[in-house]
Amino acid sequence: MSRVVTVAAAQVGPVERDTPRSDVVGRLVAMLAEAAGRGADVVVYPELALTPFFPRWWFADGDPELAGFYDDEVPGPSTKVLFDEARRSGVAVCLGYAERDGPHHYNTSVLVAPDGEVVAKYRKVHVPGHEQHEPWRPFQHLERRYFEPGDGFRAHRALGGVVGLAICNDRRWPETYRVLALQGAEVILIGYNTPLHYPPDPGQDRLASFHNNLVMAAGAYQNGAWVVGVAKGGLEGGVHSLAETQVIAPSGEVVAKAVTEGDEVVVAACDLDLCDRYRRTLFDFDRYRMVEHYSLLTSQRGVVPPEPQPGVGPTRP
Ligand code: CDT
C-alpha cells in the first residue's frame, strides 16, 4: 500500500483587522479547491488562519473586538463552508485558530478528516511574548495575555500514517519534534506567524529566514520526520512577517517552497516510508539514545561546578 501523502501547504497572505471573516474563509476555500485539483490529501493552513495576528495589539479584558477573534468550535458556523468544501473534495484540513473553551483561551490547531471528524486537536505549548502592554515596542506580542499554554504533544493515526501538530514558536524547540517522534510521528504540521522584526533583539532580524529553516530542517532530520511549515506572511497590520512556507523531508532537505508572500498553495508528495531510512539507521532511537544519561543531566540543570578556590586543587611544581 502506498504511504505517499500529498500535502498542500496553504500559505495565507495578510488578513487585515477589518477583513470580514467570510472573506478570509473564502480565500481558504479557494486554496482548498486548488489543492484538491492538484491531488492533495490534506491542506495545511497557518497559525491563526482565520484572523489577523491580533496579539500584536493590546486590548483591555472584555473588549468585544478581542472576543470576536476567538471561535468556540471548529468546524463551526464561521468555517462551515470550508469544511463543506473539504467533504465535497475528499481533502483533510489542518487549521490554526484562536480557541475559546468557556473561560479558557488557546492558540489551537485542528486536523479534520474529510468527513468533518476532528482527528487531532493541539493547543500551543510554547506561548511566546509578554503579558502586559509594553509601549516601547513598535508592535506588541501579547500571546501570553491572550492564550494559556496547552497540555502537551500527541501523535495521532491519520492520513495513512502518524501525524503530529505544533504551532509557530514550538518549532524552535527540539523537544517538540522529539516528543512527537518518540510517539511515532512521521509528519509534523506547523503553522506560523513570524514578524521579521524582533524588538527585544533586532540583531536577530536578518536571521529570520535562516532560523526558520534551521529549526524545522533540524527537527526533520534529527527525528526522521516530514515537517510542513506554513506561514501567514506579508505586510499585515503594518507588520511584515516571514513567508517562506516549506515542506522538508526526513533528510532535512526542502522539497517545496513558496515563492510569494501572499496566498499560495505549495504541494509536495511525502513518502512516509522515508522516515524509517533515518529511524532505522542513524536515528534508531531504541538502539542509540542514552536515556539514562539524559535524565542524569537534566536533573542537574543549573548545577555548575564551583569556581576553583585558591590553594585548592592540583599544585604546580
Ligand atoms: N507566533 C509566534 O509564536 N511567533 C514567534 C515570534 C517570536 S517570539 C515573540 C515565533 O517564534 O516565530
Rounded to whole angstroms, the Cα distance separating 202 from 206 reads 8
Q: How far is CA 298 from the centre of its chain?
A: 26
Instruction: Identify residue 281 by its one-letter amino acid code.
Output: T
Beta 104-112 vs 118-123: how paired, if at all?
A: antiparallel
Residues 6+ apart with CB under 8 A from 264: 10, 11, 13, 243, 245, 258
Residues 6+ apart with CB under 8 A from 293: none
Q: Which atom of ligand 1 is nearest to the CA of 124?
A: 3
User: Which position has the grid cell 548545577?
Assistant: 303
Average confidence score pLDDT of the chain: 96
Q: Is 253 helix (H, G, I), strand (E, B) or coil?
A: coil
Rounded to whole angstroms, the Cα distance separating 181 from 219 reads 10
Beta strands in the chain (DSSP E): 4-11, 42-44, 70-71, 92-101, 104-112, 118-123, 156-158, 161-167, 187-192, 226-231, 234-236, 239-241, 246-248, 254-257, 264-271
171: which DSSP letter? G
Stated pTM of the model: 0.95
Count other Cβ atoms within 10 Å, centred on residue 130. Answer: 15
Q: Are 149 and 104 in contact (CB under 8 A)?
A: no
In testing the pocket of ligand 1, which one of 168, 241, 244, 245 has its CB within 8 Å of the most ligand atoms?
168
CA of 172 to the centre of ligand 1 (A): 9
Residue ranges lining ligand 1, Cβ < 6 Å: 47, 128-129, 141, 168-169, 172, 192-194
CATH topology assigned to domain 4-299: Nitrilase/N-carbamoyl-D-aminoacid amidohydrolase (3.60.110)
In testing the pocket of ligand 1, which one of 106, 122, 141, 239 has its CB within 8 Å of the most ligand atoms?
141
119 pLDDT band, cuts 50/70/90, is very high
Q: State pLDDT tens for residues 186-217.
A: 999 999 999 999 999 999 999 999 999 999 99
Hey, where are the domains in the chain?
4-299
Q: Are 111 and 93 in contact (CB under 8 A)?
A: yes
Q: How far is CA 217 from the centre of its chain?
A: 13
Q: State pLDDT tens for residues 217-254.
A: 999 999 999 999 999 999 999 999 999 999 999 999 99
Q: Are 166 and 146 in contact (CB under 8 A)?
A: no
Instruction: Identify residue 188 by its one-letter amino acid code.
Output: I
Nearest CA to ligand 1 atom 11: 169
Rounded to whole angstroms, the Cα distance separating 247 from 156 reads 20
Q: Which residues are catalytic?
A: 47, 124, 168
Residue 315, pLDDT above cutoff 90: no
Closest listed residue to residue 44, CA positions, set 149, 223, 165: 165
Model pLDDT, residue 90: 98
167 pLDDT band, cuts 50/70/90, is very high
262: which DSSP letter? S
Q: Which atom of ligand 1 is nearest to the CA of 107?
A: 1
Q: Which atom of ligand 1 is nearest to the CA of 48?
A: 1
